[in-house]
Amino acid sequence: MYRNAWHKLIHATTLILLISCSSNNTNTTVTDQSGTTDEGTTDEGTTDGEKICDQCPDDWECKDGECVEPDCHVDCFGQTWCEDGTVKQTPTGPAPCELGLEACDEVSEILSCEHGCAEGEIGDPSNPEKHCAPPPADDKDLDGIIDEEDNCPDVANKEQNDCDDDGMGDACDNDADNDEVLNEDDNCLCVPNPAQLDTDKDNQGDKCDNDDDNDGYSDFEDEFPLDAAEWADFDKDGTGNNEDTDDDNDGLSDEEEMQWGKDCSLTDPSVADTDNDGVGDASDAYPNDPFPAFVLIENPKGGITVVLSKVDPMNATVDFGESFEVGQSLGHLCAAPDNSKLCSPTCAMGTFCQMGVCVEDEPKQCDEACAEGQVCRKRLYRSFSIGDFKTDGKMDFLAHSYPADPDGTYQLWFFERLEESGNFPQQYLGQVKQLLNGVVADVDGNFLFDIVVRKADKPNYLANIYGTTYLGNGVNSKTNCAVGPVEEGCAFTAVENAWDIKKQVAGQWGSPAAREAQEMTGDEFNDLIFATYASGGNDQTKVYLLPSNGDGTFATAEYKFSHNKTKKQGPANSILFADFNGDKIGDVLMGLDDDGDAGSAWLYTGKGDGSFNDKGKKVFDLNPGCNSNCGEKPGHSGNAKAFDFNFDGAMDVILGYNFKTPWLPPSKLVVLVNNGDGTFKDAQQIGPTYNGSEAKRFQSPQRLCPFYND
């Protein structure tokens, strides 16, 4: 009846448990396999056989009045199995193994919860039938793989792994990867590595370690997989970023790019061209602005004309093309017209002169009738300053309303450049008593754009020129104060009486000043240049340096040299202060008068010790047809400015002038591209020819740092 001794043991165990666990209070008679009975009280009305069968376990059979055990057993997974392979009883509670199978363990050591079968038998717990049976004769290690197909017939290894493909499974191969290093000594069990290199000493050989130097970067992404101090080399120069002081090889150190410094900007140290505009960070005046540089032109009919440059960095060429208007309407006001002498011919009745153009009076646009001597005129935008006043590495600009409001003040507007090239939303900053129109530079060394403004007393000849410095505090969307204390969130803080050059200008006819600043005295603060001439004729021009004190004020002016001493050149109506020959030393370019050699300009190069070569070199001529004793000839310009439009490191020149007569329109705006050595290509016109003086009322960008970094 019993298939083996184990079944008999199960029977005995079950019988013991059943007897000990019975909770019936009546006496019962149970017949064992020998036929003996235990006497007791029975229920009335039943036969002895029926009474006995009532006491049989649920899974036993009642035959001839006896309880007969089926040929079944309970496995260690809590299921009762019978000879026909069916489940006789499946527990609803936890399986005995989950309960510790204490009963099984107490009865016999041969029961195993690991396999759910008795010793000497096999079974697979993942098999839903969970049969236990004697092991097959052809599978000695009981791993389910017959011996003739088993690569380790004496060691169970169901996965049959064989790293070195030698036919001997890893479980029984003492050199699994066949590298002549025993498994117990091998730091890469499945990868041949006879040298046993272990760079990071983590007991995992380099051959099987996906991070050999244990620096947190996998060998797949680590450009220096055996150097824990390095993992990347952005510029592919063979030196890791941690050791390399210039990761992107753009000429700017990583430290310099991540803080305001010599490059006067914050850029990405891992990318040589942060804004991806084709101009490297070291040469890009606005390294976070991918859009073209631009110039601004005052529009006598309202709005601001923006003209975009078109640059080919590869060929270092520059052109100007697309233009568009920006600026919301500022309404009308009663104010005096511009000087009628600036318009030719004289304006007709009902019109007045505005920026050299005759425009119609619009009395109905004003709330009340204008006083005598006034006209109802549209507020325009005037006196621009282009820089990076928001300090985000992108070009933006300031503009004032014109003419002044009835209280004598001007509206100051900030125009921010957004992601789209032509998108310039504007923000009102407040009222200012003086036009913030002058030298745009960093004069206090804090890498913010400041504006140095001149004011002249000139009843006839000059009596004095003095200045106010507006120190920049930065502009953001919450700025609602134009000028005032930095604590109040104002865009600028005024330094009154910042300088005075009465000694140099008193009694002089004119005093042009450069719109650029350069550091010339070795103190890292940007200094200014101005000049004086004694008469309106072909007279010499004296040049002075105004050293910065680093706090917005300036020291006593220092004489440097004289231009046109022999009267064979020409006076200077424009003076520019920048590095024109590429040696990172400030130079002076000056001239552009109607007298002498009309329309010509001369370059005086800096020596590097704060002085200049006093022999100027003629570098361009707007009026080549008249080179001496010209007098009242075209070529006069008092608005020339310097900016490197093609970003080749050499400053170009942009200027507007009346090209038929020196004083009256028409006018045009031109750019002269630097050849890289301080000489210039022929003048190239920007935009249309203007019937008024608009071409003379323009603004070009300024760079925060005076020099480029190679």
CB-based contact 169:155 (threshold 8 Å): yes
Show the 3-state SS of 209-265: CCCCCCCCCCCCCCCCCCCCCCCCCCCCCCCCCCCCCCCCCCCCCHHHHCCCCCCCC
Q: Is the dihedral of CA 269, 585, 560, 439 positive or negative?
A: negative
| pLDDT on residue 653 | 97
| pLDDT on residue 369 | 93
Residue 147: partners with Cβ closer than 8 Å, 6 or more residues away: 138, 139, 140, 153
Angle among Cα 553, 558, 561 to the nearest 5 degrees reads 140
Six-digit token string for 461: 């000849």
Q: Is the pLDDT of residue 24 over 70?
A: no
Distances, alpha carbon 233 to alpha carbons 89, 183, 216, 224, in Å: 69, 38, 16, 9
Q: Is the pLDDT of residue 632 over 80?
A: yes
Six-digit token string for 29: 């008679």
Task: Give the mean model confidence (pLDDT) for residues 183-187.
Answer: 83
CB-based contact 174:182 (threshold 8 Å): yes
Six-digit token string for 660: 């038929």
pTM for this model (two decimals):
0.68
Mean pLDDT of the chain: 79
Residue 625: partners with Cβ closer than 8 Å, 6 or more residues away: none
Helical residues (DSSP H) of 119-186, grouped into ranges: none
Six-digit token string for 677: 């050595």
Task: Give the mean model confidence (pLDDT) for residues 255-282.
Answer: 68
| pLDDT on residue 262 | 59
Preceding omega of 571 cis (within 30 degrees of 0): no
Residue 244: CB atoms within 10 A of its CB come to: 20
| pLDDT on residue 79 | 52
Distances, alpha carbon 121 to alpha carbons 71, 137, 143, 146, 333, in Å: 17, 12, 12, 16, 108
Residue 384: partners with Cβ closer than 8 Å, 6 or more residues away: 296, 298, 304, 397, 398, 399, 437, 699
Amino acid letter, residue 109: E
| pLDDT on residue 417 | 84
- Give the model confidence (pLDDT) of 349-370 as tens digits: 889 988 778 888 889 999 999 9
Task: Give the mean model confidence (pLDDT) for residues 593-597.
Answer: 93
Confidence category of residue 669, pLDDT binned at 50, 70, 90: very high
Which range in 249-258, 329-338, 644-653 is most confidently predicted, on average pLDDT? 329-338
Q: Is the pLDDT of residue 646 over 70?
A: yes
Show the 3-state SS of 345-378: CCCCCCEEEECCEEEECCHHHCCCCCCCCCEEEE
- 425-445: b or e for each residue (b if 16 or more CB lie within 10 Å)? ebbebbbbebbbbbbbbbbbe
Query: Which domains are assigned to the chain?
Result: 164-231 (4.10.1080.10), 512-700 (2.130.10.130)
The string of DSSP letters for 388-433 reads -TT-SSS-EEEEEEES--TTS-EEEEEE---SSTT---EEEEEEES
Residue 271 phi/psi, 5-degree rounding, is -130, 125
CB-based contact 389:475 (threshold 8 Å): yes
Q: What share of the chain is helix, strand, coil (3-state, %, to 5)?
A: 10, 25, 65
Kind and range of the H or E run holding 502:
helix 502-505
CA–CA distance, 352 with 363 (Å, rounded to integer): 12
- Give the model confidence (pLDDT) of 417-458 as tens digits: 876 656 799 999 999 999 999 999 999 988 899 999 999 999
CB-based contact 369:355 (threshold 8 Å): no
Preceding omega of 666 cis (within 30 degrees of 0): yes
- Give the model confidence (pLDDT) of 485-516 as tens digits: 999 999 999 999 999 999 999 999 999 999 99
Distances, alpha carbon 84 to alpha carbons 72, 129, 403, 625, in Å: 9, 12, 110, 122
Q: Is the pLDDT of residue 339 over 60?
A: yes
- Give the model confidence (pLDDT) of 83-134 as tens digits: 545 544 444 433 343 333 333 333 333 333 443 455 555 554 444 444 455 5
Q: Is the pLDDT of residue 75 over 80?
A: no
The string of DSSP letters for 303-326 reads SEEEEEEEEETTTTEEEEEEEEEE
- Give the model confidence (pLDDT) of 522-555 as tens digits: 888 999 999 999 998 899 999 999 999 999 999 9
| pLDDT on residue 434 | 95
